[in-house]
Amino acid sequence: MKIYWTKESLLNLREIEYFISQDNPNAAIKLTDKLISLVEDLIEFPEKGRIVPELSISQIKEILYKNYRIVYLIKKNSIDILTVFESHKLLDIENLVNQTKSN
């Protein structure tokens, strides 16, 4: 399995790291590293996440870590990381569906 990060997911990850780094640069790096590590685990265990409740599509799953959600699409030979966001925010379903159609 290969992992592919969408532009949105990379942008979101950078924004999360930047926001946290304003108060605590070390915590920002640790959190970002942990989120990336969780994604890398998907290479061996792509089914480890839960189905995204808002979508109920078996190929679109998410990993929850602290206050963050990593949403990903399982394909035959790869995994697309669709978005990473704080769980108190709403999932942008329209944008997510558009990403899955263009990939």
Four-way CATH pick for 2-102: 3.40.50.11060, 3.40.50.300, 3.50.50.60, 3.30.2310.20: 3.30.2310.20
Quickly list H helices, the chain. Answer: 7-21, 25-41, 93-102
Is residue 88 very low, low, confident or very high in pLDDT (cuts 50, 70, 90)?
A: confident
In this prediction, residue 92 carries a pLDDT of: 73
Please provide residue 83's backbone torsions phi and psi, each rounded to the nearest 5 degrees.
Answer: -165, 155
Q: Is the pTM of this model over 0.85?
A: yes
Positive or negative, the Cα torsion across 46, 47, 49, 50? Answer: positive
**Domain coordinates in residue numbering, the chain:** 2-102
In this prediction, residue 1 carries a pLDDT of: 86
